[in-house]
Amino acid sequence: HVQLVESGGGSVQVGGSLRLSCEASGVTGSSYCMAWFRQAPGKEREGVASIDSDDNATYGDSVKGRFTISKDNTKNTLYLQMNSLKPEDTAMYYCAADPLCRAGNGVGHVTGYPNRGRGTQVTVS
């Protein structure tokens, strides 16, 4: 049973930084993918960043150079470091996991990941 719990969201000024965390349980094995996606009111879901068990990372065009995805296997935790935040980054951020990476590693595949958390709100103003 996969469980994902996000934390670290909040309100921040333009240009500021936040680090999101996602505590994961049940994501085991030698081949998996995890990701962050976001959704703002009235907008479509957007893949932000993804990473696989070999630490291959991908990023959406709108966050490249500003966001970094990483994971700590010893803590079963996924992170998203967000720098140089912009108002357009305001959204609910969700952690997602595909324990066998069947959907593939990549921000374009995140909607196919079968597991996701409840989200954490990020507001930039």
3 state DSSP class of 69? strand
Q: Give the chain's end-to-end CA distance (angstroms, integer).
A: 37
- In the predicted model, is pLDDT for residue 29 greater than 90? no
pLDDT, tens digit, for every residue of 66-87? Answer: 999 999 999 999 999 999 999 9
CA nearest to 26, candidates 92, 95, 80, 99: 99
Token digits for 9? 């969201």
pLDDT digits (tens, 9 = 90+) for 95-110: 999 999 999 999 999 9
Query: Is 28 a residue whose pLDDT tops 90?
Result: no
Residue type, 68: T
Q: Mean pLDDT of all residues in the chain?
A: 96
Q: Using alpha carbons, select from 124, 125, 43, 111 the residue that is nearest to residue 82.
A: 124
